[in-house]
Every structure is written in C-alpha cells, then in structure tokens.
Amino acid sequence: MRYFKLTIAYDGSCYHGWQRQDNSLAVQEVFEHALYKLTGQKITVQGCSRTDAGVHARNYVLSFPLDSTITCRGLQLGLNSWLPDDISVIGSEETDESFHARYSCKGKEYEYIVHNSRIKDPFLKNAAFRNTYPIDEKKLDKAAKDFVGTHDFKAMCSADCTKENTVRTIHCFNVRREGDRVIFTVSGNGFLYNMVRIMVGTLLFINEGKIGENAIPSIIESRDRKKAGKTVPPQGLYLNKVYY
C-alpha cells in the first residue's frame, strides 16, 4: 500500500462544502468518484478541513492510501482528466502512513475578498462579497490586530459550533486594498465554524460605526456571539494555505 498527499484547488460555488453530504453535492464526493474512475478503487479521502457551501480553496490538502503503481504525475494528470473544470489537482506527492491531511495540520491561512464598489462586477458574483459602504482599510487593518494572539473565540463562532474548546491562536491578521477589492488575510492554528466570516463581519461593522474601533478585545472577552458583527456570505472566502 502506498500513501499520497494531494493539493487541490476548487471553486466552491456549485458545492455544499468539502465533506460528503447525503442530500447535496460536495467536493469530496466528486473527487472520490474521479479517483474511482481512474483507479477502480473505492477510497475514502481525508481532507484537511470542512469548508462551508460556496467557499473556495486555492490550496486544499487531502490524503489517502492507494494500492497502485501509478506515478505522482500520472495521478495528477489522470485525476484532472476526470474532474470537472472547477476542481483541479495542483500538487501530488507520495508520503507515509503517518501523514493525515487533517490531524497533521499545524495551521491555515484564509483570505476574504470584499468587492468595495457601487458598481456590480458580474465576474465577481461568486468570487467576492460586494459591499458598497466605503471601506477604510487602514482603520480595519489596525483593528484586525486585536484578534492576534491566543483567545477564547466563542464570540466569533456560529451558534451551531459543536466544539467544546473554543480557544484558538491567531498568528496574523492583515487588511489591504487592491483597487476596488479589500482583502482580509488571517492565519492561525485553527478556526471555529464561521469564525473567519464573523471576524470579517465584525470588522465591517467597525467600518460602518456599528461597533467601536477598540471593541474587539471586550467582545472576545464577553464570549457573546450577539456582540460581534454579522456573518458575511461564503463566496468571498478562500482557504489560501495549509501548514504542516
């Protein structure tokens, strides 16, 4: 038996996240079907993270065993011939049995893109969240630094979050502008359900004056989801990097 670590990129617009669902199409189901078509083997693939419906990934890592003599390059090219155009294998390497895409993960980086314009861009419909209120990216970059550190992020996760331990460490959080796009980049050792989308929503509330500029530490301390900002839509979110 051989073991593989693959990196894929996908546009999540048509999928109900990564994890296989009973009643909705997920990336895992599509990938495992392509793997079966290529190898004739029914294999359960381990993914590095659960992503929400509509969320995208630039670098999503998965792992699986395979009883085959296929090369890494052959696996990549073969899978890409079976996968739809919105999913691509961008990296393929052989690893050992101890590697697990999820449990070996040390951290992740996410990006959230806001299209800050009063004019619609049809090409960004499923690739960014359009917010017409003028964004002061410098003010938000400063406020975002209050998320950095090890905190209990209970106030920054969905009420549907089932994790008992809501303590996470944020390593870096930056906000920058590129034309009419404002990009929020955050990295940490792990993230709770909807955590990135709620943090971005909280920053947007600060931008609009609905929350004070220096309120993030007190919101975190409160552990009260109601004190934070809205949960922004999924289409602006990208899993950017995975660290091992």
Just list the catalytic residues.
Answer: 52
- Which residues face 88 on adjacent strands? 9
168: closest CA among 153, 187, 155, 157?
Answer: 153
Residue type, 123: F
79, containing H or E segment: helix 72-82
- CA atoms of 186 and 123, how far apart (whole Å): 24
Phi-psi bin for 17: left (phi > 0), alpha (psi -120 to 50), beta?
left
Which value, in Å, is the radius of gyration of the alpha carbons in the chain?
19
Length of the chain: 244
131, containing H or E segment: none
Structure tokens at 98: 């101890």
- CA atoms of 197 and 234, how far apart (whole Å): 7
Dihedral sign from CA coordinates of 243, 103, 101, 22: negative
Distance of CA 224 to the CA centre of its chain: 23
